[in-house]
Amino acid sequence: MNFQANNPTFIIKTLGCKVNQYESEIMRENLLKNGYAESSDKEFAEFYIINSCTVTHRADRDARRLIRHFNKINPDAGIIVAGCYAESDNDRKILATLPGVMHILKNKEKDKVGDVLKSHNKDEPLNFKSALRQFKDHDRVFIKIQDGCNHGCSYCKVALVRGASRSRSENEILDEVRNVLGKGCKEIVLTGICLGAWGMDLEKPLDISYILKKIKNIDGDYRIRLSSIEPAYVTGELIDLVYSSDNICKHFHIPLQSGDDRILRMMQRGYNTKKFEALLKKIRKKMPNAGFTTDLMIGFPGEDDKIFGMTYKFIKKIKPSRIHIFSYSEREGTLAFNFKNIINNATIKNRINLIKKLSYNLHMDFVFKLKKNPQKVLIESKKDKYSQLLTGYTDTYVKVFIDGPDTLLNSFVKVKIMDINQRGIFASPAQP
C-alpha cells in the first residue's frame, strides 16, 4: 500500500466487548504518539483497523461486512483485521481472501499494529506502550485488569481464542487508574474476559476484592463500576465491600444465560437456579435498591417450550433491572456445536420478543422505585444529540435525561426523577 508520506490517517472500528474497546484505545493512543493521524472523516482513511469479535456468527459477519464497506469507500486503503475473529487458522484464511485486507493480527499481536502500518521511514523506533493514558470521548474509562478464561462453557468460543486466564499486575493497574483520573475521568469500569478471576493466577494468589480496595482508596472525585462478573466470584467479601464503599457503584452485572437447570448443566455453567437466586437474595439483603443486570441466551439446543417457560418464570421471579438478550449461535470448536435439537430462528425471535417485553416492564418497575429518593448521576460531558438534554447514569446503571445547565457537564449531581415514559427517564437537579 502506498500511503501519504506525512501523517497517514487511520480509523479504528471496534466490535464486541469492553475488553476490545480498551485494546482499541491502546492501539489508538500508540498510533497517535508515533506520528499517525486519526481521520477527521468518519468513513474515509488511508487505513482501517477492525478490532473484531467472534462471540457469535453475527459478529463474524459484521467484521466481513465492515471490510467490504471500507474497501468500497477507499479501494486503495489498507485494512488490518485484529482480535478474536483473527485467531483461528480457518477464520484467518477466510479473512485473507477479502478485498483490501493487508494484514491479520491475533490478540497478542495488537501491539504490533504500528509496525504493520509504517508508511514512511523513521530514524527512531516505534515507541509502543501497553498502559492507557486517556480514553477518547469517554467520561467513563474501561480498565482491563484480566484476560482469558478458564471456564469451559459449552457454547463459548471466547475461551478458545483468548486463552487461559491471565491477570495484570497490581502496579500496572493502579498506575493506569491514576493516569486516567489525572486526565479528568469520573468513572472507572473494571473489565476482563473473566473479570472475577483476577489475581488467582498470580504468584501470590489474590482476589478481585483486593484490587478493588486498592483502587477505591486512590484520591479523587470518581466512582468505580464492575463490568460483567460470573456468579462464582461474587463473594460475601465483595458484596460487603460494594455495600460499604461510597465510590463503588451499587450495580452487579451477573450473567444468568438460562433459567432452567437442565440447560444450565448442558451449558456447563457451574450453578443452578437455586444457587443463583440465593446469591441475589444475599446482595439484596445488604442493598435492596442495588441494580442487577444480566445476560440471557435464547434458543440453546434443546430449549423447548416448557424449558423456555421455566426461564420466563425465573426471570419474573428474580426481577433483573435490565437484560442483555441474545440468541444462541453455533460456534465451531465448542462442545455445543455438536448438540442436537436446534431451535429454529422464528421460534427464537418470538421468544426474544417475549423476554424484551418482560425486560421493559421489570426495568420500569425498578426505575419507579428510584423515584422515591434523589439519585446520584454522573452527567456525561456531551449532551444528547437528539433532545439536547444532559444525560447520565445512576450508580445502579439507569440512564436518565436531565434538564439542567451546561455547568453540570462531567460532574456528579443529585437528581430527582420526574417523569418515566417510553421516550426515557427524565430528571431535574434535586433541590439542596
pLDDT tens-digit map of 311-355: 999 999 999 999 999 999 999 999 999 999 999 999 999 999 999
Q: For residue range 195-216, list pLDDT tens digits in order.
A: 999 999 999 999 999 999 999 9
From residue 279, give the alpha-carbon distance in Å to each of 76, 88, 320, 325, 340.
55, 37, 13, 21, 32
Mean pLDDT of 66-77: 95
Model pLDDT, residue 124: 35
Residue with cell 475473529: 85
Give helix 345-370 / helix 305-318 axis angle, nearest 10°. Answer: 10
Between 432 and 56, where is the model more confident? 56
What is the CB neighbour count within 10 angstroms for residue 430?
Answer: 15
Q: Give residue limits of the domains in the chain.
A: 9-117, 140-370, 375-429
Model pLDDT, residue 135: 59
Is pLDDT above 70 for 358? yes
Mean pLDDT of 146-161: 93
> How far apart are alpha carbons 7 and 120 in whole angstroms?
9
Note the pTM of the prediction, 2 decimals: 0.89
R_g of the chain computed on alpha carbons: 22
CATH annotation of 140-370: 3.80.30.20
What is the CATH architecture of 9-117? Answer: 3-Layer(aba) Sandwich (3.40)
Is pLDDT above 90 for 132? no
May I ask the CATH class of domain 375-429? mainly beta
> How far apart are alpha carbons 70 and 379 in whole angstroms?
34
pLDDT tier, 136 (very low <50, low <70, confident <90, very high otherwise): low
Is pLDDT above 90 for 53? yes
> How far apart are alpha carbons 14 and 26 in whole angstroms?
12
* Domain 9-117 shares a fold with domain 375-429: no
